[in-house]
Amino acid sequence: MIEVAGPQKYSALSIAIHWVVAICVVGLVPAGLLIPRLDEGPVQEAVSTTHQSVGILVLFLTLLRLALRVAGRMPKPSAVLTPFERAASRVTHFSLYALMIVGPVIGWLGVNAYGEDASFFGLFKLPTLFAKDEALSDQIFALHLACGILIVLAVVAHVAAAFVHNVRDDGVMERMLPGR
């Protein structure tokens, strides 16, 4: 496989998906931690339904980005990456893709087991996959929380690597920046 040297950019669509998902994750994690601490009522309901909707958006956008990757619509890894960086990048990206699919699906299952339907901004509801079982819901939401923590750890690794590439000014980070 021949790799292109220099900052071969991602497409405008891939860049947009990346940054929309990044913004969503920045909001999803604190909202998810806040929901169980709120008193039951309209505020908790609003935060919960928004969290669900944004989680569904992340799931959809992640599947779309993964489809673009599978279709070969992503640039090859930068030639400036060391073998360790290349391996670390693969592990981190695979982890992020997996967690941003598994996390929302687990959240959807938890909402179902809690006795509710997962809704996307009130426009449509996802199919109900579990009957109401609040004890099961608690267990599923514990897994959902674990996914959220793992997402945070993977994002920290991803951001740290981006920072390193920015300091090196090696062109890697510019591949995912809009308008450059």
Q: What domains appear along the chain, each with residue ranges and CATH number?
A: 12-176 (1.20.950.20)
Spatial neighbors of 59 by CB under 8 A, at least 6 apart, are: 100, 101, 104, 105
pLDDT by residue (tens digit) across 39-57?
A: 999 999 999 999 999 999 9
At 173, is the secondary structure helix, strand, or coil?
A: helix
The pair phi, psi for residue 84, each rounded to 5°, is -65, -45
- 72: confidence class by pLDDT, cuts 50, 70, 90: confident
Question: Residue 119's closest CA among 180, 57, 41, 72?
Answer: 57
**Token output for 162:** 């981006």
Q: Which residues pair with 124 in a beta bridge?
A: 120
6 or 122, greater pLDDT:
122
At 27, is the secondary structure helix, strand, or coil?
A: helix
Report CA 33 to chain centroid distance, whole Å. 16
| Concatenated DSSP letters of 58-70 | HHHHHHHHHHHHH
Write the Ramachandran bin of 4: left for phi over 0, alpha for psi from -120 to 50, otherwise beta: beta
| Averaged pLDDT, 133-160 | 96
